Amino acid sequence: MPEHDLSFSRSLTEEAGSFKLLELPPELCTLIENSLTPLRFTVKGQSTEDAVLCTPDNKTYTIRSVVLSNNVLVVTADDEGSNGAVVVRDQLTEVLELTPTLPRLEKLTTLLRGREYDDVADSAGMQDDAEPGSRGISYEDARSLIQASDGELARALRERRILDIRGTLRPIAPSYLTAVLETILNHLVAQTWKPGAVPATELSATLADENEISTTVSTQVMTWFGELKAGVWSLDVPGVVREIGLGLLRPYKHDAIIREEFLRKWRLAVGDAFEGSVSLDLLSGNYLETASSGLLDRGDTLTYFPSSELPVDPASRFVDLFLTRQKWKAEDIAPFLSDIALNNKERDKLLLKYTRATNDHGQVYYTKR
């Protein structure tokens, strides 16, 4: 066994606390070991936030300090001493542990509040100022402020329908997006274009000339709803139909609409060519269905109830859910937990912690614990 002369560094006092020991989970070890190029990990978080570590692609990890039962010495070779000598640079009493977590995206809503982009802004060519002298948020601003990996942030911008207009991020107004998508479907039918092979440049030019929808907006909308490659757009039909359905359901947040009446309006909005894709399953996690009762049986009704507007904190989320309904069927509550749980296993843990399950003739119900 080799022997080494051990001594303390002359700068031990100054260097104390400057080293951290990070324990990597197996998937990160595999990623590093198999990578052919250097990887860059980013630690994100302001002084008021818990720090997270983000991978270059699609993972975010919370960073938690765990106290060690034994001190760990940080030693390096002594550049100034004899061969084989090592010096103690620091001693560690804790290790930083990484735990997979959902990206912290709630700040996006605050940063972009009041900056919606609609047909007025489009047709008037308005500048990106919600208030006189205000400065918009760029992608790089969001990248530095939002605790998410680049892949997760890009997906969030797409799923939340956030445009990049002249370097400034602006969420598209839902009513405007619905109108744009309905117009696109009408053009597809009129031009007899196949949903899997739409000429993107021609469609954008037509929307700009006939409907005053800028090419910047139409191009980004196409990337949200399908694949745009080599000038050809492959339309995600269920995605477009879903978004139009949400647009029709949003006005019924404080009121209700009869289920069959809503489905009729939805089919009419997408047209004969696409009505076969209409299904309430597409709107899962965005509505409540109430069974009809009483003498005036007009049919089951729907109310707009989006999970995206519920608290991200699990405890607060369940409070809101049980204020809305005292008892939930298992299949009804599950869609409202998918955005706060990494997977089904984590979702079941939340249900076990915050609810009480009962079985009524084979039907599982959850009530407040």
pLDDT value at 110 more than 70: yes
* Residues linked to residue 63 through DSSP beta bridges, in sequence order: 98
pLDDT tens, 258-287? Answer: 999 999 999 999 999 999 999 999 999 999
- Residue 14: CB partners within 8 Å, gap ≥ 6? none
User: Mean pLDDT throughout 201-214?
Assistant: 95
Report residue 162 as tokens.
């956030």
Report residue 28 as tokens.
């990160």
Which residue bears the tokens 């939805």? Answer: 266
Report residue 5 as tokens.
């002369």
Is the entire prediction scored with pTM above 0.75? Answer: yes
Report residue 61 as tokens.
């990890």
Domains of the chain (ranges, CATH numbers):
6-101 (2.60.40), 103-171 (no CATH), 271-368 (no CATH)
Burial call 153-170: b when 16+ CB within 10 Å, e when fewer: beebbeebbbbebeebbb
* pLDDT top residue among 349 and 56: 349
Three-class DSSP category at 329: strand
The model's confidence at residue 105, banded by pLDDT at 50, 70 and 90, is very high
pLDDT value at 126 more than 60: no
pLDDT tens, 275-332? Answer: 999 999 999 999 999 987 655 567 899 999 999 999 999 999 999 999 999 999 999 9
Say how far apart CA 93 and CA 16 lie, in whole Å: 11
The model's confidence at residue 86, banded by pLDDT at 50, 70 and 90, is confident
Say how far apart CA 248 and CA 252 lie, in whole Å: 8
β 22-23/86-101 pair status: parallel
The model's confidence at residue 216, banded by pLDDT at 50, 70 and 90, is very high
Provide the Cα torsion 278, 280, 303, 252; round to 10°: -10
The pLDDT of residue 172:
97
DSSP symbol at 147 = B
Which residue bears the tokens 């005292």? Answer: 326
